[in-house]
């Protein structure tokens, strides 16, 4: 049996699964992770990388009224309590508002014509650091990566040079970035639970 660590980019998994109409819950994430493991593999750990929802006050783009963004992150707490799961938290940054539709009619704009623009920060760095730690510790033989972020390429190269096998998970209806495949040993298609 090969010992593996599964590294899941939560923002990526959430976007693709919700686009396909899936309900994104800790149960769904746990079932999905189980499907990423091959029969000749056993889990050391399942690392889940995501950002808690944004919370704070921002001025709306047209009216200038202060809006309070509130969100619950209990689902991340619940996920972290599951067997073999570890949650690595990045930060969600507010980057302003962007139009919902283009072109815009400047004469008739309202706050409802805009949506908040958020950027996930620190997740790819945490993924890279964990790959480096596993590369040095040799606690696993394979890294199974659920991400399509090409910022992970240097970490994948380091992992392979250290003797780890790299498996890239291909989500349903998605194409894996060629840059990731160039630095992986296997591509593993996985269906939704």
**Residue 146: pLDDT band by 50, 70, 90 thresholds?**
very high
Q: Distance between CA atoms of 89 and 15, rounded to whole angstroms? A: 17
Whether domain 2-54+69-91+121-189 has CATH 3.90.1150.180: the reply is no
Q: Residue 120's pLDDT is what?
A: 84
**Residue 182: pLDDT band by 50, 70, 90 thresholds?**
very high
Question: Which of these ranges, 9-18, 58-67, 104-113, has the smallest mean pLDDT?
Answer: 104-113
Residue 136 has pLDDT above 90, yes or no: yes
Contact by Cβ (8 Å): 131, 161 = no
Contact by Cβ (8 Å): 148, 11 = no
Residue 100: DSSP 8-state? S
Q: Distance between CA atoms of 162 and 25, rounded to whole angstroms? A: 35
Q: Residue 155's pLDDT is what?
A: 95
Mean pLDDT of the chain: 93
Residue 107 has pLDDT above 90, yes or no: no
Prediction pTM value: 0.88
Position with higher pLDDT, 52 vs 135 = 135
Residue 144 has pLDDT above 90, yes or no: yes
Q: Which residues of 19-58 are buried (b: 16+ CB within 10 A; e: fewer)?
A: eeebeeebebbbebbeebbeeebebbbbbbbbbbebeeee
**Residue 71: pLDDT band by 50, 70, 90 thresholds?**
confident
């Amino acid at each position: 049996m090969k010992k593996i660590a599964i590294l899941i980019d939560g923002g990526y998994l959430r976007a693709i699964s919700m686009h396909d109409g899936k309900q994104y819950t800790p149960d769904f994430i746990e079932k999905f992770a189980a499907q990423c493991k091959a029969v000749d593999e056993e889990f050391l750990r399942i690392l889940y990388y995501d950002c808690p929802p944004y919370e704070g006050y921002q001025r709306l783009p047209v009216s200038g009224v202060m809006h309070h963004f509130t969100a619950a992150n209990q689902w991340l707490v619940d996920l972290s309590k599951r067997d073999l799961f570890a949650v690595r938290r990045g930060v969600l940054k507010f980057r302003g508002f962007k139009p919902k539709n283009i072109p815009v009619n400047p004469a008739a704009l309202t706050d409802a014509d805009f949506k908040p623009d958020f950027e996930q920060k620190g997740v790819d760095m945490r993924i890279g650091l964990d790959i480096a730690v596993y590369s040095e510790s040799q606690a696993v033989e394979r890294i199974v990566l659920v991400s399509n972020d090409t910022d992970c390429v240097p970490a994948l190269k380091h992992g392979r040079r250290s003797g780890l096998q790299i498996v890239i998970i291909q989500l349903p209806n998605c194409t894996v970035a060629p840059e990731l495949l160039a630095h992986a040993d296997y591509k593993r298609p996985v269906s939704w639970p």
